[in-house]
């Protein structure tokens, strides 16, 4: 592994500030360091070594106070973990810092990685970790005025364990006033060159901001001087719920993290769980997983295509794309039983086999799509007004994309051909023949073109799935496959016991840490799981691609006009459930 001597290099450079390496089931090293050298270590990895780790993928906190199995790890109350990625090495590294449980204070790496700021705000919000670059009580996901830090182990996971909640009129007013678009609270300038700026609250109820999302803008006429995105309206506590649900029960929640990704959301979670269990998923199940994932990629990109055209004013193309999506959903429904949130995969494989005649349905869809895509190209991509609205708008280059943690089509539009399916193939993607579409200018137009071309590539992958679908079992023959294969369960008492325990108490994963990474529709989605030998997760960290994409808005938006902002928001292709979880 290109990181094999990295830990040695770190120890040589920082001496005993490097507390040691932790063994995990992952292929990248996890290194513990002292809090004092946090900034120095990150700067070293980002700027000083050769083929550096230029992107901060994720930063999160772990409450270690209730954990039983911590062999080989230094003592810690709350741990901060940061996950870095090097495209040049095609390798990752995870840095962990131990902090005090009662008063966790950490050094902010916001000066090294600009996109660390929102992650650190989330760590404060959920765990109470104070970072010195952040103003006190700068919550991000929970509403202002919330008391407590919910992800801590001392905080209950069910509403029934909390005191009764009464919304009085006074409380309602207080909450409403707390959400006012006060420029001071958002750090917005009120004057520029003696001209007073107009503060516009592009509120959670807006047609331009896809989903419940709010940007507070400081405008000089139509020009945006500063923009501050405000998220958290769609927060549902998925990570806390993972600690309450069993490993098996949590699967439908993963569908709903990105509500347009459908079954693709289950992939990174299952990748991590199956790695922890040591399950090898049979080929038929893997190929079906790929086929359905790519179907959902097409569904999402079609919706993106239509809404992108609609954001620039063309009201008709979205209806045509929705007709195509309807056809796609009929195929998905006949295979999985549900349309948007199938919950079709299981630990160890699939829940049921493909229905008879599935290949005819899929081929009909594959034959229907290409001519429709050609029509759309004439309607949208070659439309002069659309091009005028999107070319050169919100352009950023690869270096800026790395600074802000951009993955997925947003990164590929700047010219870097990095896709997890090719860089770290999973689920059998190494056997498929497809290309990674790449843009050049990193503007809205290129992001649109990259996604349109991805639709075509996904159609190609699905055709290969249909042509070469392997036969065989759809569930692995492994004790932790939940639920176990039905034929065995009905005949064999051991399997029956496993089924009973797995469905009621939950499958018990061996203690340890695993990570799953998948190229979902918006970019890199990563699940970092910590198991403590219990039937439910100790810590589930969901790294979603849209979170850093939205953080970038405050850097890209200044200088644009309001109409450009609408095109830019459309081209990011985020969904709020992916941002807030």
Which residues here bind other proteins, judged by CB under 8 A?
Answer: 198, 200, 206-208, 221-222, 309-316, 319-320, 323, 379, 383, 385-386, 388-389, 561-564, 566
Q: What does DSSP assign to residue 78?
A: E
The CB-of-206 to other proteins minimum distance in angstroms stands at 7
Smaller CB separation from other proteins, 191 or 391: 391
Closest Cα partner for 122 from 77, 61, 67? Answer: 61
Count the Cβ atoms, other than its own, within 10 Å of residue 115. 24
The SS3 call for residue 122 is helix
The SS3 call for residue 315 is coil
Smaller CB separation from other proteins, 209 or 336: 209
The CB-of-345 to other proteins minimum distance in angstroms stands at 33
Give the whole-angstrom CA distance, residue 91 versus residue 3: 7
The CB-of-227 to other proteins minimum distance in angstroms stands at 15
Smaller CB separation from other proteins, 67 or 389: 389
Smaller CB separation from other proteins, 317 or 483: 317
- Which neighbouring-strand residues pair with 79? 62, 98
Smaller CB separation from other proteins, 5 or 323: 323
The CB-of-269 to other proteins minimum distance in angstroms stands at 35
Structure tokens belonging to residue 27: 């292929």
Give the whole-angstrom CA distance, residue 141 versus residue 234: 8
376: phi then psi, degrees, rounded to nearest 5? -65, -35
Cα 83 → chain centroid: 14
Smaller CB separation from other proteins, 27 or 316: 316
Smaller CB separation from other proteins, 334 or 383: 383
The CB-of-561 to other proteins minimum distance in angstroms stands at 6
Q: Which positions ≥6 away from 318 have C-beta within 8 Å?
A: 306, 307, 309, 310
The CB-of-197 to other proteins minimum distance in angstroms stands at 12
Smaller CB separation from other proteins, 180 or 399: 180
- Which neighbouring-strand residues pair with 223? 220, 561
Closest Cα partner for 537 from 527, 547, 529? Answer: 529
The SS3 call for residue 305 is helix
The CB-of-321 to other proteins minimum distance in angstroms stands at 10
Structure tokens belonging to residue 322: 């929705």
The CB-of-306 to other proteins minimum distance in angstroms stands at 11
For residue 262, CA distances in Å to 252, 451, 544 come to 9, 18, 14
């Amino acid at each position: 592994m290109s990181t094999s001597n990295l830990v040695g290099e770190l120890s040589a450079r920082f001496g005993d500030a490097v507390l040691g390496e932790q063994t995990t089931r992952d292929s990248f090293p996890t290194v513990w360091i002292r809090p004092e050298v946090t900034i120095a270590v990150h700067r070293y990895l980002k700027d000083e070594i050769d083929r550096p780790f230029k992107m901060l993928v994720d930063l999160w906190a772990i409450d270690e106070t209730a954990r039983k199995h911590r062999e080989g790890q230094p003592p810690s109350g709350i741990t901060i973990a940061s996950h870095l990625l090097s495209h040049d090495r095609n390798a990752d590294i995870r840095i962990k810092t131990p902090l005090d449980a009662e008063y966790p204070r950490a050094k902010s790496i916001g000066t090294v990685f600009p996109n660390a700021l929102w992650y650190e705000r989330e760590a404060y919000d959920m765990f109470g970790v104070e970072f010195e670059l952040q103003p006190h009580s700068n919550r991000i996901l929970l509403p202002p005025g919330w008391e407590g830090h919910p992800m801590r182990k001392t905080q209950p996971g069910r509403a029934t364990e909390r005191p009764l909640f009464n919304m009085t009129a006074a409380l309602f007013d207080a909450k409403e006033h707390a959400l006012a678009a006060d420029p001071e609270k958002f750090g917005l300038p009120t004057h520029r060159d003696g001209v007073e700026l107009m503060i516009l609250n592009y509120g959670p109820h807006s047609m331009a901001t896809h989903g419940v999302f709010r940007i507070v803008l400081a405008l000089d006429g139509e020009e945006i001087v500063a923009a501050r995105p405000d998220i958290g309206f769609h927060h549902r506590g998925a990570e806390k719920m993972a600690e309450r649900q069993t490993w098996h029960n949590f699967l439908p929640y993963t569908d709903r993290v990105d509500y347009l990704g459908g079954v693709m959301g289950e992939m990174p979670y299952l990748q991590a769980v199956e790695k922890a269990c040591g399950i090898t998923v049979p080929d038929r199940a893997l190929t079906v997983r790929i086929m359905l994932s790519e179907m959902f990629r097409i569904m999402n990109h079609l919706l993106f295509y239509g809404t992108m055209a609609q954001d620039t004013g063309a009201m008709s193309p979205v209806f045509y794309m929705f007709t195509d999506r309807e056809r796609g959903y009929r195929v998905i429904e006949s295979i999985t039983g549900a349309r948007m949130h199938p919950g079709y995969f299981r630990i160890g494989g699939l829940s049921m086999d493909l229905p008879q005649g599935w290949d005819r349905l899929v081929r009909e869809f594959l034959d229907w799509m290409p001519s429709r895509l050609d029509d759309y190209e004439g309607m949208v991509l070659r439309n002069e007004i659309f091009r005028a609205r999107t070319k050169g708008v919100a352009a950023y280059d690869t270096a800026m994309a790395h600074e802000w943690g951009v993955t997925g089509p947003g990164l590929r539009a700047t010219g870097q051909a990095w896709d997890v399916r090719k860089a770290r193939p999973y689920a059998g993607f190494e056997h498929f023949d497809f290309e990674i579409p790449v843009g050049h200018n990193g503007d809205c137009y290129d992001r649109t073109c990259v996604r349109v071309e991805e639709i075509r590539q996904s159609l190609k992958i699905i055709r290969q799935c249909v042509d070469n679908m392997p036969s065989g079992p759809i569930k692995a023959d492994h004790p932790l496959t939940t639920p176990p294969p039905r034929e065995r369960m009905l005949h064999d008492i051991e399997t029956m016991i496993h089924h009973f325990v797995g469905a009621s108490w939950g499958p018990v994963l061996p203690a340890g840490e695993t990570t799953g990474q998948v190229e979902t529709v918006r970019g890199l989605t990563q699940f970092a799981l910590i198991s403590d030998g219990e039937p439910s997760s100790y810590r589930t960290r969901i790294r979603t691609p849209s979170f850093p994409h939205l953080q970038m808005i405050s850097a890209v938006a200044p200088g644009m006009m309001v109409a450009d902002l609408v095109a830019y928001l459309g081209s990011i292709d985020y969904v709020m459930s992916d941002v807030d979880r």
